[in-house]
Amino acid sequence: MANQEHDLPLYEKVWLKRTFQRVIDTLILFLLLLLLSNRVFSSHNFTFPWLLAFICESWFTFTWIVILNTKWSPAVTITHPDRLLQRVQELPPVDLFVTTADPVLESPIITVNTVLSLLALDYPANKLACYVSDDGCSPLTFYALLEASKFAKFWVPFCKKHNVQVRAPFRYFSDVTINNNEDSLEFKQEWLQVKEMYDNLSRTIEEVTHKTTPLQLDGELAVFSNTEQRNHPSIVKVILENKEGLSDGLPHLIYVSREKRPQYHHNYKAGAMNVLTRVSGLMSNAPFMLNVDCDMVVNNPKIVLHALCILMDSQKGKDVAFVQCFQQFYDGIKDDPFGNQWVASFEYIIRGMAGLQGPFYGGTNTFHRRNTIYGLYPHEIETEIKGKLEDILTQQFGSSKEFINSAVHALGGSVYSANDITPSNFIEAANQVANCDYECGTFWGKKLGWLYGSISEDVPTGLNIQRKGWRSECCTPDPIAFQGCAPRGLLSTVIQQKRWGSGLTVVFFGKHSPLVCMLFGKVQFRAGLSYFWLTNWGLRGAFLVCYVALIAYCMIANTSIFPQGLVLWIAISVFVIYNIHTLSEYLTIGLSITHWWNNQRMCVMRTTTAWFIGFLSAMLKLSRISDTVFEITEKEHTASGADGNNADAGRFTFDESPVFVVGSTILLVHLTAMLIVFLGLQPASIGNGCGVGEMICSTYLVVCYWPYLKGLFSRGKYGIPLSTICMSSVFALVFLHFCTSNIIT
């Protein structure tokens, strides 16, 4: 019986059967192919607009093939932490990485809550080390962590004693109240005491952050007295140290701010992650690493055990490089008005990728094997490589002998004993590997660690790992692993979407594109094809803007790109079936019709604005005309029920961003085109004139852009700025002149 239990897997993978979904997806593809074939065999209707429509529709059909392929075989993983605890005598160390870059856009109190939730994980404290990367080199962030470390001495024992699930204090105290009838007197007293301590901590940090209380740069903070955000030496500080190696103590807590100099490119988040990897390799060298963004708090305190079930499974876990937990959000605005909560995408697209070679690396909520980050292939795990690597490690990993020694241990599969981990002994070496010139002439960012070259560093890094033959897995325990804050306004959303559109376009055309990884690596065909759903976001923006402009041109110039008669009904059928099908998908997972509509309209708006601008930015970068700018998404600190007190919740606000110029131009062009049609100001048609197809598309687009239409007549931050309207009007007039001049007829 004991042997049978020992043979049971630590995790299971179950493929879901969604036959009806497959049938409808295939029907839509069939109808799209019918439309394309009609264009091919209707050469007598050939015009240049007809050719452009054929090219755009071919791209849309290819995109649907990608989506169908990705959704075809969804899978879920089921983990068994109880089996892991029975089977493993000593749990392995795990290093925890938290990244923050701007104390204004990413308030220190948010970072503090994430760190506190990690320190309180249900895992032996002497096996955990938490590293916080502060790319803003902010004394505010360091001071907040110092104060949080004092509070952690009370918070962590409280969580473990009372089995608290949500271990970020701001979430816990906003969701949990004392029950006078059920809770014991001891618990009430402790709860009130710890809550008062957290309120004091929060108040202290907020006062310093908002400069109500001046921050004195002396003592531990003296090192920040002569620093600038982009010009400072490396700073590595041990804030908490579990010197006794107590399993019920507190984990190590280390602050890291890598060196930055104006003459060195700092490579954004990828550079910060590589520094954390080297510093942690020196100090604790855990075989597994978890990285989270500063706003992703722990929602399931046993998540490390769940992830290790996958990574340590003797049968299926050996070739799993990383375990990805879904990004889910707390206190999201009801019905997702800005389309940034991605609930349906996670359910259908990411689960679909999980059924292939595994999900893409999402940049946060991810458990990694250290030796995979160091460039190891799956087959090298079982081989003895320690002796033959030492001669070449210097040119690959850098000149630090201490770090090379730790890398040899990691690549050879050995780990430090918990009692041997003393981070304070490696401060000098850690500062060396955090210097900005340490990577010069090495493989970092090229073949090792997080890859450089794109502001979306996560996708090429994950692709580079999978091209070596590694797999990845989703981890979706109940309750969910992590929760973060989605952008709560339109401005934050478009910044995030523009950054993704730009970075992913660079990946699409780069040496780590899915196509290259399929042809010259070990990324499986269907898995590589699924990556096109992600990496072609910018291209989707370019093709959809072209199609939108083409429809407006046809209405103004009184020509048509849509077929007449029965074939037109095929196009209408695609539109109707697609919308009913997606609506049913949303309703199936418990989302509302309003949620579905918000996501549909935001899909149109972000594709034709943020992704399109991101595409143009990527083209400038690839052409070496200008480099892309990394814009940080603001993280907002909210409590439960905050939406009811926020007048901006769900409302569209605008500024002078180029994204809104594009959106306003598209709206003005189509309003003008519809007005010309209604007033009969079109020229006489030659052949087929503008018909029902163009009017349906234009009307649908204007309905999707309804928030922009309201913005044209609103004032303040809810209105589109006058300068944006004027610029958009000029572009619209130029387009109108272009259409009436019949240049492309």
269 annotated as ligand-binding: yes
- Over the stretch 545-563, which tens digit does the pLDDT of each residue have? 999 999 999 999 988 888 8
- Over the stretch 353-400, which tens digit does the pLDDT of each residue have? 999 999 999 999 999 999 999 999 988 776 655 555 566 777 889 989
Tokens of 647: 């007048």
C-alpha distances out from residue 381 to 253, 377, 378, 432, 510, Å: 30, 7, 6, 29, 29
Annotated catalytic residue, options 313, 331, 336, 458: 458
What is the mean predicted confidence (pLDDT) over 723-735? 96
Active site residue 458: yes
Answer whether 157's CB lies under 8 Å from 122's CB.
Answer: no
Task: Report the pLDDT value the prediction gives residue 436, as an integer from 0 to 100.
Answer: 92
Q: Is 145 exposed, middle or buried (0-12, 13-18, 19+ CB in 10 A)?
A: buried
The answer to whether residue 248 scores a pLDDT higher than 50 is yes
Rounded to a whole number of angstroms, the CA Rg of the chain reads 27
The answer to whether residue 640 scores a pLDDT higher than 60 is no
Higher pLDDT, 182 or 471: 471
Dist CA 320 CA 311 (whole Å): 6
Residues 484 and 513 in one domain: no
**For residue 523, which phi and psi values (nearest 5 degrees)?**
-75, 125
Task: Report the pLDDT value the prediction gives residue 196, as an integer from 0 to 100.
Answer: 96
Residues 223 and 259 in one domain: yes
Annotated catalytic residue, options 95, 102, 135, 336: 135
Task: Report the pLDDT value the prediction gives residue 2, as an integer from 0 to 100.
Answer: 53
- Work out how many domains the chain is built from and give that number: 2
Ranges 235-249, 661-675, 676-690: which has the least confidence = 676-690
Residues 522 and 617 in one domain: yes
Amino acid at 682: Q
The domain containing residue 459 runs over which residues? Answer: 81-327+362-488
Domain boundary among the residues 444, 459, 488 is at 488
Answer whether 234's CB lies under 8 Å from 431's CB.
Answer: yes
- Over the stretch 610-623, which tens digit does the pLDDT of each residue have? 999 999 999 998 88
Residues 478 and 530 in one domain: no
Residues 669 and 524 in one domain: yes
Residues 149 and 213 in one domain: yes
Q: Look-up: residue for tokens 């009130």?
A: 192
DSSP bridge pairs for 238: 254
Residue 254 domain flag = yes
CATH number of the domain enclosing 284: 3.90.550.10
User: Where residue 331 falls among pLDDT bands split at 50, 70, 90?
Assistant: confident
300 Cβ neighbours under 8 A, 6+ residues apart: 165, 306, 477, 479, 480, 481, 482
What is the mean predicted confidence (pLDDT) over 431-436? 95
DSSP-derived pairing of the beta strands 288-293 and 94-100:
parallel
Active site residue 199: no
Dist CA 231 CA 391 (whole Å): 34
Residue 480 domain flag = yes
Tokens of 474: 């989703």
User: Where residue 646 falls among pLDDT bands split at 50, 70, 90?
Assistant: low
The answer to whether residue 29 scores a pLDDT higher than 70 is yes
For residue 368, the surrounding DSSP H or E stretch is strand 366-369
Residues 540 and 480 in one domain: no
The answer to whether residue 745 scores a pLDDT higher than 50 is no
Dist CA 66 CA 530 (whole Å): 6
The answer to whether residue 525 scores a pLDDT higher than 90 is yes
- Over the stretch 70-111, which tens digit does the pLDDT of each residue have? 999 999 999 999 999 999 989 999 999 999 998 988 999 999
Residues 203 and 245 in one domain: yes
The answer to whether residue 351 scores a pLDDT higher than 90 is yes
CA dihedral over 378, 381, 383, 389, signed as positive or negative = positive
Task: Report the pLDDT value the prediction gives residue 644, as an integer from 0 to 100.
Answer: 42
106 annotated as ligand-binding: yes
Around 398, how many Cα atoms within 13 Å sit in the side-chain half-sphere? Answer: 28
Answer whether 116's CB lies under 8 Å from 152's CB.
Answer: yes
Task: Report the pLDDT value the prediction gives residue 47, as an integer from 0 to 100.
Answer: 80
What is the mean predicted confidence (pLDDT) over 320-338? 91
User: Where residue 44 falls among pLDDT bands split at 50, 70, 90?
Assistant: low
Ranges 232-236, 314-318, 330-334: which has the least confidence = 330-334
658 Cβ neighbours under 8 A, 6+ residues apart: 613
The answer to whether residue 744 scores a pLDDT higher than 60 is no
Task: Report the pLDDT value the prediction gives residue 444, as an integer from 0 to 100.
Answer: 95
State the average pLDDT for the chain: 90
Residues 445 and 519 in one domain: no
Task: Report the pLDDT value the prediction gives residue 645, as an integer from 0 to 100.
Answer: 47
Residue 595 domain flag = yes
What is the mean predicted confidence (pLDDT) over 487-512? 91
Task: Report the pLDDT value the prediction gives residue 1, as an integer from 0 to 100.
Answer: 46
Higher pLDDT, 647 or 235: 235
Amino acid at 241: E
Residues 406 and 520 in one domain: no
Of 370, 324, 388, 329, whose CA–CA distance to 350 is shortest?
Answer: 324
32 Cβ neighbours under 8 A, 6+ residues apart: 57, 60, 61, 64, 574
Residue 45 domain flag = no
For residue 490, the surrounding DSSP H or E stretch is helix 490-508
Task: Report the pLDDT value the prediction gives residue 150, as an integer from 0 to 100.
Answer: 96
Domain boundary among the residues 434, 461, 488 is at 488
Dist CA 637 CA 168 (whole Å): 12
DSSP bridge pairs for 561: none
Query: Mapping DSSP to helix (H, G, I), strand (E, B) and coil, where does residue 564 land?
Result: coil
Task: Report the pLDDT value the prediction gives residue 464, as an integer from 0 to 100.
Answer: 95
For every residue of 191-251, DSSP letters joined together read HHHHHHHHHHHHHHHHHHHTTSSPPP--GGGGGGTT-BTTBB--EEEEEE--TT--TTS--
Dist CA 175 CA 641 (whole Å): 10
Residue 98 domain flag = yes
Task: Report the pLDDT value the prediction gives residue 687, as an integer from 0 to 100.
Answer: 65
Ranges 116-125, 212-221, 662-671: which has the least confidence = 212-221
Residue 57 domain flag = no
The answer to whether residue 641 scores a pLDDT higher than 50 is no
Residue 293 domain flag = yes
199 annotated as ligand-binding: no
What is the mean predicted confidence (pLDDT) over 500-526? 94
Of 463, 537, 529, 465, whose CA–CA distance to 499 is shortest?
Answer: 537
Residues 468 and 567 in one domain: no
Residue 631 domain flag = no
Task: Report the pLDDT value the prediction gives residue 38, as an integer from 0 to 100.
Answer: 87
134 annotated as ligand-binding: no
Domain boundary among the residues 488, 515, 549 is at 488
Residues 707 and 618 in one domain: yes
Query: Mapping DSSP to helix (H, G, I), strand (E, B) and coil, where does residue 75 land?
Result: strand
Task: Report the pLDDT value the prediction gives residue 614, as an integer from 0 to 100.
Answer: 94
